[in-house]
Structures are given as structure tokens and as C-alpha cells.
Structure 1
Amino acid sequence: MHNHLDAPAVVRALAPDEPVILNRPHAAARAARFFATRFPGKSLYAVKANPSPDLLKVLWSAGITHYDVASIAEVRLVRATLPEATLCFMHPVKTASAIAEAYKVHGVRTFSLDTHEELAKIVAATSDAEGNAARDLRLCVRLRVSSEFSELSLASKFGIDLADAAPLLQATRQVADWLGVCFHVGSQAMTPFAYVQALDRARAAIAEASVVVDMVDVGGGFPSVYPGMEPPPLEDYFSIIHRHFESLPIAYNAELWCEPGRALCAEYNSLIVKVERRRGNELYINDGAYGALYDAAHVAWRFPVRCLDEDRTGALEDFAFYGPTCDDADYMEGPFLLPADIAAGDFIEIGMLGAYGAAMRTAFNGFGQGGAVIVTDEPMASLYTGRKDPRVSDNVVSLR
């Protein structure tokens, strides 16, 4: 993979007709070191956010040793890429064959669940040929919690309701060598209070079940920086999570886990696209809803942008994008702030696409191709360097 200074240098060297992903290994390594050294527990990378083998190696080298895998394909990928990594199969609905392969072939011992049926499936799939149940299972019961403080909800699909949790926790404790409680507050949680509410729900579930809990996993949701979304410092999240974890009715040596995805990889990638046509304040570009800009189209996510043509000096205006496919839905409303005189043939860098960017690419309509290069400049926004502290409180006081 070729190295360049920054996006303008890539355009000068390649004048690309296809979209180009820019990798920033130093940014991902910085994020990984931050979580590995400052989160008061164990950090598992949520592989679905960006499964790039190059990224996985960067995170491993920077101290991330545990990985949240959600499919047998992710299990195989991470095991092949990082043979010594600890894998945790945290999807609550898995096939029996995936569970069996993960346990018997790839050494996975940690599984999540949210129903009695999934518990029975895990026990059966991990039993030996004589039908003897595994004695080394580390099982995590996923609770349903609110996503009201997050930009993208994850409250409807997975998780057992609090009213039903006690019997499942008790049944899981009977077969698990090690019992955990996990949840997910939703993607891009904009206040640490999201975790306070979820941990209060975990407290109630544990107390009602009267079981010994060996681990609490606060899941993902840790934010990154995007236009119009300036979260508090991550240290505020860590401090409040730790304080509430310490007061839970759990084993004295219980572990605290988290599963960052976006926060570890958002700054790893940006994207160079080319303007193929301008129609008023609509720009036709060569990536879109079926490529790395899935979130820009489907959930109207805004990303930082800049025009890479130094001759464009017009005042910034709001633009929308159309992607390259024939689908009318290949549309990104934005708004994206770009020079008023931007024109066909210009190049744009779109930042903060390391999370759910390249991972979402398809080959629909013959598009979705394009290479990747390494750049050494800083990402267009960062939670980890050169950022003004907004001190957004939401009734939460910073402990720094």
C-alpha cells in the first residue's frame, strides 16, 4: 500500500477516477492506546464497525487484545489475522453450527444471549460427543436498555426486558462457569448519562435474580466527532461508568468491559471522491449509498468535507450529494459545506469514515470499487488530539 502525506498529495499523484480510501494507522493506534490505558476495564473492539485486517493489526499492536465478533465469518477473520486474540461472540442470535465452530475450532468461550432458547442452543452446541455439557462457558445475558441519548437506536432488536431477566440470569448461572451482564445504549451516545441509566437497569436485574455476576459489559455507543455532534470528553464517560460499576451488587473481583467500535476506528479512514456533475447545489459524486457513504444516505449522517482544489475560494454553501448508481435513493441530503464555485472534475475529501464506511460497501450497479492508500496527516476531526473541550454536561459533572 502506497504512502502519501495527505489527500491533496493523493490527488496530485493519482488523479483517481475511482473513490480512494485513505487509511491513517497512527490515528487508530492513538485511539486504541487511549482505550487500552484509560478505560477502567477491558476494551473489546467491535469488529463489525470496520473489519479491515490492516486495522485489526494496528489495534492489536496498540494494546487491544479482545474482539467482539458477531458472525462466524468475523470469528474466522480475526482468528486468522490475530491468532492470539481473545474472541467474544456477542451476537445474541447465532446458528448452532456457528456456536459449535467458534467453540470447538476457534477457542471461543464467551457468548451472549437474551433468551432461554439461545441458552439451550449454546449448551447443546458446545457439549462433547457424549453429550457432556461444557464446563468453561463464559455467558453474557444481554439486557434491553434505552437508546434515548444516542443518535442511532439499538433498543428494539436485542435484549431481554427487565421484567423477564431474573429467570434467565438464574438459568444461565447454573450452566456458566462465568456469568456476565451486557447491554448496548445505542450508537453515538451523546452523554455519559446513557450508561448511568443502563447500569441502573443492570443493578435491578442482578438484585432481583440474586446471582453472582462476574462481569458487566457496557457495550458500545462511545461517540466520535461529526458536524453538529460534539460529545463530551471520553474521560467523562469512563469516570461515570466506573463509579456506577463500583456500586453494583456483583462479585468483588468482577470485571468491567466495553465494546467500542466507532470510537476506535472512525478516525482511521477518510474518502476521496470526484465530482462528476453539478446541478445547482446537488453534486453527483462517484461514491454513495451503496458504497462507503451508506450512513450519509440511509440515516442522514453528516460527515466533515473539504474541497481539494486550491483554486476554489468561494464562500461555503450547503450541498447535497447523489451517488453513482441509477437508484434515486442514492442520495445524501447533508448538508455538506463546500465552496460555492465547486465544479465537475473537482475532488472532495469526506472525513471520519472509518466506522461503517468501507465496511458497508457493495458492488451494486458495478460500482463500489476503488483502492486504498496510507496518509500521515491528522484526521479531519478527533476526540483524541487538538479538540476544544465542549463540557456538555447533561446533568453530568466532569471528574477531570
Structure 2
Amino acid sequence: MTAIEIRSLAARFGSPLLVVDCAQVRHQYRVLKEALPGVDLHYALKPLPHAAVVSCLYDEGAFFDLATTGEVELVKAQGIPAERCIHTHPIKRDSDIRDALRYGVTTFVADNEDEIRKFVRYRKRAELLLRVSFRSPDAVVDLSRKFGCEPGAVLGLIEKARRLGIRVRGLSFHVGSQATDPGKYIEAIDACRNLIAEALLAGLPALDILDIGGGFPVAYGETVMSIEDFCRPIRAALATLPRHVRLIAEPGRFIAAPAGVAVSSVMGKAKRAGRWWYYLDDGLYGSYSGQLFDHAKYPVSVLKDGELHESVLAGPTCDSIDVIDDDILLPQLEVGDLVIGRMMGAYTWASATDFNFFKRAKVVVMNEQPADTRRVVQLHRRSAGGGSSKPAA
């Protein structure tokens, strides 16, 4: 996105903004699809649960990964067929199960006996994937710390489900967000292949689905492996699975992160201990929330040249932790100057708050229609319920 486009959007809509470029969403989906042929990509809504993203991915042929009733409501409002969705939260309220079933979702995830028992009353309508834990301490977020059963527990859980009349269709895992090494996927795929064979030998129902989760890395400034190189050994491992096994992945960050650009403006400045402090109308309680919750550090720049000085970028709230960067080189800024955050589509607006009654960023969607690559389609505000959005007045 060019400086001219950013200034035009800020002049039209004010700030703070989160600009979501659907052309970038489509690009990320396509390159991952090419890197993982034969794998159904279920977009995980949680990093960027926006109606325009859902719609453009559906047009691309994507499937969807849901975890809550709110996410069910969002895809339903966009006309997504329920058969293109799975519900993957390993720990669910009964209301979450009922709402998903009412919509038509039939595939769920569980990782322990108590969770399996929740499906006894729904055993004629629902089927399960068992989530297996593969710890990944090198990932930025090790999701197997919180969810998943040990591989050694899988056959016993399948047998317990069978005794309860509940069908287990397959296995799932998630090696962690921002995985840096495809080796953990290989380890997990190999283990699941062995479990599929062991289940068959034990006389258990055949397992015909493997969900390899998400975690595919994006570059926030540091160098990461290209997605083609990252997925090459994963493809080789998947090729060793029985041909009848349906393959699923749950990309979220990889698709959403590069599509978001945060636009904020300087609302005040002060010189403290020899450094300029610039106070923005967005911060850690807003779009930069991922620096706290997602361990991310976003590339930040300004639309201004000049001699660089040691500076501090702070958010607008009265909380002293609301500092985006306390050691950044910037030209001298003035009130109203724009500050740009890149790679901010994932876990930013989705986890933002209205703390101190500073309203979270407006979302502007660009290139919602593939044939029109430069027009701003619509200004959206996040509604209070379910992450859906409405045109602003």
C-alpha cells in the first residue's frame, strides 16, 4: 500500500484505521494452497474474524475452522455452507455444540474422555477428531501445552468413544503458532500415520481424516523460510499416509497477517529525558494488542523523512505499559503525522479493546472484489456480537 493511498484513507476515514487488503488475503491463500496441494485449507477465523475476509476466501474455495458460537454466526451470516466448516475447539460448552449442530456443522474436536462424553447425547449427529499433543517449545506459541492428549492415549480414547456410540473419524494436531521448523510437522505426521495403522490393527473404526493444524510462519521483520520451502518436507510426509485419508490444515495468521496495515496518528508529543515521546491514537490496548497477547513485534514506519532521533511511540491510554516501542529511530514528528504498522492483520483488531474509552480502529476493506484492485469497497465497524460487521453511517 502506497503512502498516497494511506494518506487518502486517513483523510477520508480518520484514524486509527486497520486497512484489510483482500487482494493480499487471496494471494496468501493461493500460495499456501499451491504449497500444500491436496490439503483442504480451513481458515481459522480467530486472528481476523471479519466478514469480508470470510467472503473472499469462500470465493477462493476455502473451508473454515470455527471455535465459538460467535464464529458460527459470522460464517452463517456470509452464507457459508455448514459442510465447509469444522469446529475445532477442544473444550466446548454444551451451547457451543448445540449452536454448531443447529447450523449444520458435524465434525468436532476433543482431547479427553470428559470432552468425549459431552457428545453422548449428540452421537447420531456428530463425529470427532482426537487432538494429539506434540510439544513444540521452539514455536512462538506452543499450543500443545494447553490442548491435546498424549499419543499413547489415543487408542484408549477411540475405544471409549466407540463404547459410547460416538464415531471418531480421525486425528488432529497443532505444532504451535509461528513454527520455525517444519520438522515438528514431520514428527507429528509420522506419529499420526502410525496411530492410524495401530487403530486398524486393533480392530477400531478406520480413521480417515488428519488435520495438521496451522502455525505456518510469516515474517514480521525477521527472515523466515519461504512457504514453498517450509511445506516441501511436509508434503513428502503427507504422501506417506494412506490414500483414503482426507487432509486438512487450519491456516490463520499466514493468511491474515500480511493483509493488515494499521494507520494511526500522533495526538501529542513531549520531550522526556532527551527523547521525543509521541502519543498515538492507537496502542497496546488497541491494534497493537498482539505485542502483549501474540508475542509479535510489528514493522513500524512513518510517512516523513528527516534526521533520525531516538524516540518512543506510546499508545493513547493512561496506562504506563501502553508503549509500542521505547527505542525507535524516527524523524521529528508533529501532531497529526501518520504512523504505519505493517503485517498487522492477525491477532490485532481481533484482540483490541475499548479501554479508557478509546475506540478501537475502524476497519477499511480494500479490493473486496478481485476485478477492482484499487477501490475502497466499504468501511466496516466491528459489531458487538459475533465479530460481524456493518457499513458505517
Q: Please name the residue that 2:150 is paired with.
A: 161
Q: Please name the residue that 2:216 is paired with.
A: 222
Change (3 A) 1:205 1:225: same
Change (3 A) 1:176 1:38: farther
CA contact (8 A) 2:66 2:89 kept: yes
CA distance in 2: counterparts of 1:184 and 1:263, whole angstroms: 14
CA distance in 1: counterparts of 2:218 and 2:79, whole angstroms: 26
Q: Between 30-39 and 40-49, report the one with greater CA deviation.
A: 30-39
CA distance in 2: counterparts of 1:335 and 1:138, whole angstroms: 51
2:129 to 140, 144, 147: 140
CA contact (8 A) 1:278 1:344 kept: no
Structure 1 residue identity aligned to 2:238: F
TM-score (norm 1): 0.81
CA distance in 2: counterparts of 1:259 and 1:224, whole angstroms: 15
CA distance in 1: counterparts of 2:224 and 2:365, whole angstroms: 28
TM-score (norm 2): 0.83
Change (3 A) 1:153 1:343: farther
2:57 to 31, 41, 59: 59
CA distance in 2: counterparts of 1:364 and 1:271, whole angstroms: 18
Q: Please name the residue that 2:178 is paired with.
A: 188
Structure 1 residue identity aligned to 2:321: A
Change (3 A) 1:374 1:81: closer
Residues 291-312 of structure 1: CA deviation (Å, up to 9, x unaligned) = 1111124455211122123xx2
Q: Please name the residue that 1:46 is paired with.
A: 44
The question of 1:235 aligning with 2:234 is answered: no
Residues 353-368 of structure 1: matches in 2 within 5 Å? 353-368=344-359
Q: Secondary structure at the match of 2:248?
A: strand
CA distance in 2: counterparts of 1:335 and 1:184, whole angstroms: 35
CA distance in 1: counterparts of 2:71 and 2:158, whole angstroms: 27
Q: Kindly report the root-mean-square deviation, in angstroms, between the aligned alpha carbons of the 2 structures.
A: 2.6
Change (3 A) 1:84 1:261: same
CA contact (8 A) 2:287 2:360 kept: no
Q: Between 82-91 and 53-62, report the one with greater CA deviation.
A: 82-91
Q: Secondary structure at the match of 2:264?
A: strand
Change (3 A) 1:227 1:100: same
Change (3 A) 1:90 1:298: closer
Residues 62-73 of structure 1: matches in 2 within 5 Å? 62-64=60-62, 66-73=63-70
Consecutive unaligned residues in structure 1, runs of 5 or more: 127-132, 379-400
Q: Please name the residue that 1:328 is paired with.
A: 320
Residues 105-146 of structure 1: CA deviation (Å, up to 9, x unaligned) = 10011100001111110232x2xxxxxx40x53311001112
CA distance in 2: counterparts of 1:90 and 1:148, whole angstroms: 22
The question of 1:305 aligning with 2:300 is answered: yes
The question of 1:296 aligning with 2:294 is answered: no
Change (3 A) 1:50 1:182: same
What displacement does 1:88 show?
A: 0.7
CA contact (8 A) 1:300 1:333 kept: no
What displacement does 1:239 show?
A: 2.3
Q: Between 368-377 and 69-78, report the one with greater CA deviation.
A: 368-377
The question of 1:272 aligning with 2:266 is answered: no
Q: Please name the residue that 2:73 is paired with.
A: 76
Q: Secondary structure at the match of 2:119?
A: helix
CA distance in 2: counterparts of 1:102 and 1:343, whole angstroms: 50
Q: Secondary structure at the match of 1:325?
A: coil
Q: Please name the residue that 2:381 is paired with.
A: none
CA contact (8 A) 1:5 1:375 kept: no
Structure 2 residue identity aligned to 1:92: P
What displacement does 1:176 show?
A: 4.8
1:99 to 94, 97, 100: 97
The question of 1:372 aligning with 2:363 is answered: yes
Q: Secondary structure at the match of 1:188?
A: coil
What displacement does 1:87 show?
A: 1.6
CA contact (8 A) 2:257 2:345 kept: yes
CA contact (8 A) 1:24 1:269 kept: yes
CA contact (8 A) 2:26 2:60 kept: yes
CA distance in 1: counterparts of 2:294 and 2:358, whole angstroms: 21
**Number of residues paired by the alignment?**
357
Structure 2 residue identity aligned to 1:165: V
CA distance in 2: counterparts of 1:153 and 1:334, whole angstroms: 27
Consecutive unaligned residues in structure 2, runs of 5 or more: 368-372, 375-393
